Amino acid sequence: MAGIQAEIYEVVGTARTLQRGRAQRAALSCGESDRLARLARLLVRSEQALGNPLKAIHWLSKPNGALGGQRPLSLLDSDTGTLSVERILGRIEHGVYS
């Protein structure tokens, strides 16, 4: 699970930034909040598409051929990447596996 935590920190912000903010009770920046909300939304959607949280985490963290061999989690730092991941999840939800 440590590997997935590192990837999540990469999407949202660095671990040091997030830990410092928590220690100082500081709010996340607008960008960090946006990335965290995007990650939460895609995690819920992938859980719904795949049937359980562990499958969702596995799917998000493994290279995906439909995404050019990139890991879905690595694409969540932009709107364009997020839309690509959402399209693949939509295909999975409709029985077109990716």
**pLDDT tens per residue, the chain (98 residues)?**
556 666 666 666 655 555 665 566 667 778 878 888 888 899 999 999 999 999 999 999 999 999 999 999 999 888 899 999 999 999 999 988 65
Task: Please state the pTM of the whole predicted model.
Answer: 0.75
Centre a 10 Å sphere on the Cβ of residue 8 and count the other Cβ atoms it contains. 21
Nearest to 84 by CA among 43, 47, 42: 42
Measuring CA to CA, how many Å separate 30 from each of 9, 12, 76, 78, 98?
A: 15, 11, 15, 14, 32
